[in-house]
Amino acid sequence: MSIAPTGEIGQAAGDGAQGRPKHPVDAGFTLVEMLVAMMVTGILVAALATAFSVVVRVTPTSEDRLDDARSTRSLSTFLSHDTASTPPFAPEGSTGGFDVSTAASAANNDCSGGGANIVHMQWTEAIPIHVTYVANYRFVIEGDAARVHRYLCSSTDFGPYVLESARAITPSLDPAKVPVAQLEIDPSSGRVIVLTFQLTGVSGETILVETTSRNPSDFFS
């Protein structure tokens, strides 16, 4: 066994001490760095808060969306029923039919509804008594928006019309875009084949409303 000289041991020890890694001292953030970080955080929070506020304002509430869905469903339900009941003739005759003129005249405002006429439908039922019905869809402006209202009235034995119901059946619409109903008519018979009109929402979205006219006598004797 050999023993290293004392001088060599001391030199090795000195080399080891010099080769040890020196741990840097953690001095933390400076005041300037803290201020910069706080400013950046404040800007980000303000931007996020602004974006969230805008989203909350422009996004309809659940209740509004539910009301819109109910209104749209009501339009589809009532319009389909009324067109199926109406004799498919234009203009209206003694047995009923369609009137899509926009004039607010007595001829298309039997139910005394507000706004402009979109489509006026008339039909007669004679069981058990003679009753004439009118379903009048009108474009009514309400403040900064508009809606389609359905007015239903009836007349017994050719007497005066009596209002039975009046209700809004669409969500809010652009008041400057009045719907104009179009009738596709069979040239050989004069019957209405399709009734169409377009609705424009307050935010610019559009929807085409289309329904087919059916003569009840084609299905019932």
Spell out the per-residue pLDDT of the chain, length 221, in tens.
444 555 554 554 455 555 555 555 556 678 788 888 888 888 888 878 777 666 656 555 544 544 455 556 778 888 888 988 888 888 777 778 899 988 767 778 999 999 999 999 999 887 778 899 999 999 999 999 999 999 999 998 778 999 999 999 888 899 999 999 999 888 887 788 889 999 998 888 888 888 876 544 443 33
pTM for this predicted structure: 0.66
pLDDT at res. 30: 82
- 76's tokens: 């589809």
Alpha helices in 59-175 (DSSP H): 62-85
Q: How far is CA 100 from CA 30, 56, 126, in A?
A: 77, 40, 25
Phi, psi of 7 (to 5 degrees): -65, -35
**Which residues does residue 150 pair with via DSSP β-bridges, in sequence order?**
137, 167
**Which residues does residue 191 pair with via DSSP β-bridges, in sequence order?**
89
pLDDT at res. 18: 54
CA distance 209 to 180: 11
CA distance 126 to 87: 14
pLDDT at res. 216: 42
Side-chain half-sphere exposure of 196, counting CA atoms within 13 A: 9
Q: How far is CA 38 from CA 45, 203, 212, in A?
A: 10, 39, 65
Q: Is 206 helix (H, G, I), strand (E, B) or coil?
A: strand
- 211's tokens: 């329904």
Asked if residues 88 and 98 have their Cβ atoms less than 8 Å apart, the reply is yes
pLDDT at res. 94: 74
